[in-house]
Amino acid sequence: MPVSQFTIPEKYKYLHGLGSNHETEAKSGALPIGQNSPQKAPFGLYAEKISGTAFTAPRAQNRQAWVYRVLPSCTHSKFIRVDSAPVSSHHDLCMIPNQLRWDPFDVTKGTSWVSALRQVAGAGDPALKTGVAYYVYAADESMPLRTAFYNADGEFLIVPQSGALDIETEMGHILVRPNEICVIPRGMRYRVNLYDNAESIRGYVLELFQGHFELPELGPIGSNCLANERDFQVPVASYRHESADISWTLQAKFGGRLFQAVQKHSPFDVVAWHGTYYPYKYDLGRFNTIGTISYDHPDPSIYTVLTAATNAHPGTAVADLVVFPPRWLVGENTFRPPSYHRNVMSEFMGLIQGDYFAKTAKKGGFQPAGASLHNTMSSHGPDAEAFEKASNEILAPVKVGRGSMAFMFESCYMIGVTPWALDHCQKVQDNYSEESWDELRVYFEDV
């Protein structure tokens, strides 16, 4: 199935291609031809540059965009701290080696994007542009009218689990539905509405403090497979031009804290833009899954959708988005679930829908909207029941994961857990480890 069958229809048009230099204009002639900053930009617009990388970053990694807008984005009041509680924290993270699993996270009544974000885990420091943070969100309201948000701390990779996000950005509109993912670059102004006044939205967010997501190298796989560039969708320019007596609230996440300013014009006033710095979305149903057609199975890196590389250690990611789509298992004489293992990388998993086949659906279990964390060198693998089944079943070709989509945020960092995730949310499963592995039997016969 190369495309997900969405119950919510698409409502926007998109450009296609990740990494491409795109250009789009909502009003014909709004983009200057052959230059970025003419003495007078077309239609009386202001030219503004958004730099997502250092000016001198190598050409292949350089991310920047020129936008042509009604007023420059600097026309706002002073920012004021609006809340003593941080949106995210890198100070209170608890490093523990235990395997952790959470029941589905609850929707918090009366919350919207930003106020619904709850940090589960993280590592590093946004001020040093090093590390990651993981969140869940569960909101039942659209953002307040005429409110926009940007995050100076990092790039957001959003994984909806239920409910569609109708996102208005400076670069245009994106509809993101469960089984799609979306990336909002650092600094991009946007607001999140619940699609068609849906009851709620729920999902996961990976915040990347350093670098950017990109497609993984394919090596001997060749020039296609996994996620292909052309399947990533980028918004087309769209703008609001409102009267001058309209007031907007602009929220900023800066160093983990929330700030707020007021401006007398819409942040979504970009009439045209071009460049390489833009939000995008991707339908996970388009992922071209590969695997063994003989025996054993390759490492799960074959399921990588997007990666953010460390510069210091080739092949080692600050963060990977890995997915486990429906797929055929045909390996002969093979234990087909993931192996028991310990990993120098930390593994945070979530489930969008269905069952994950390495875990049985016992009470509690690994459920949609729940999560698990197997940290650096913390042992894990199939539970006892899944082991028994996989060790004894007849190995005919079988399709696993029908109607399911599990994913993993994999990071080279040791991941700390927030007090909210450990205690306050009351979703940690107390007996995850015991229920999973205590019943594993000894079969070894020392004869």
Question: Under the rule (CB under 5 A), what is the footprint of Fe ion?
Answer: 347
Is 341 a catalytic site residue?
Answer: yes
Length of the chain (residues): 447
Report d(CA 123, CA 127) in Å as an integer.
12
Q: For Fe ion, give the closer residue by CB, 271 or 322.
A: 322
Q: For Fe ion, give the closer residue by CB, 180 or 347.
A: 347
Q: Which of 295, 284, 409 is nearest to 348 (CA)?
A: 409
Pairing of strands 248-254, 147-151: parallel
Catalytic, out of 341, 393, 434, 439: 341
Nearest distance from C-beta of residue 359 to Fe ion, angstroms? 12
Q: For Fe ion, give the closer residue by CB, 99 or 169.
A: 99
CA distances from 103 to 226, 338, 352, 355, 399 (A): 30, 22, 13, 14, 27
Nearest distance from C-beta of residue 338 to Fe ion, angstroms? 6
Is 347 a catalytic site residue?
Answer: yes
Count the neighbouring beta carbons within 10 Å of the beta carbon of residue 387: 21
Report d(CA 52, CA 230) in Å as an integer.
22
Nearest distance from C-beta of residue 339 to Fe ion, angstroms? 8
Residue with tokens 């190369």: 2
Is 297 a catalytic site residue?
Answer: yes
Is 374 a catalytic site residue?
Answer: yes
Half-sphere exposure of 270 (CA within 13 A, CB side): 29
Q: For Fe ion, give the closer residue by CB, 269 or 347.
A: 347
Nearest distance from C-beta of residue 349 to Fe ion, angstroms? 8
Catalytic, out of 25, 297, 385, 388: 297
Q: Are 406 and 81 contacting, i.e. CB atoms less than 8 angstroms apart? A: no
Q: For Fe ion, give the closer residue by CB, 166 or 347.
A: 347
Burial class (CB in 10 A: 0-12, 13-18, 19+), 364: middle
Residue nearest to Fe ion (CB): 347
Nearest distance from C-beta of residue 436 to Fe ion, angstroms? 13
Pairing of strands 346-353, 327-329: unpaired
Q: Are 339 and 298 contacting, i.e. CB atoms less than 8 angstroms apart? A: no
Report d(CA 205, CA 217) in Å as an integer.
24
Q: Which of 84, 90, 154, 118 is nearest to 422 (CA)?
A: 118
Q: Are 79 and 109 contacting, i.e. CB atoms less than 8 angstroms apart? A: no
Catalytic, out of 48, 207, 374, 435: 374
Nearest distance from C-beta of residue 382 to Fe ion, angstroms? 10
Nearest distance from C-beta of residue 134 to Fe ion, angstroms? 16
Catalytic, out of 141, 155, 347, 410: 347
Q: For Fe ion, give the closer residue by CB, 269 or 410.
A: 410
Q: For Fe ion, give the closer residue by CB, 14 or 303.
A: 303
Cite the active site residues. Answer: 297, 341, 347, 374, 380
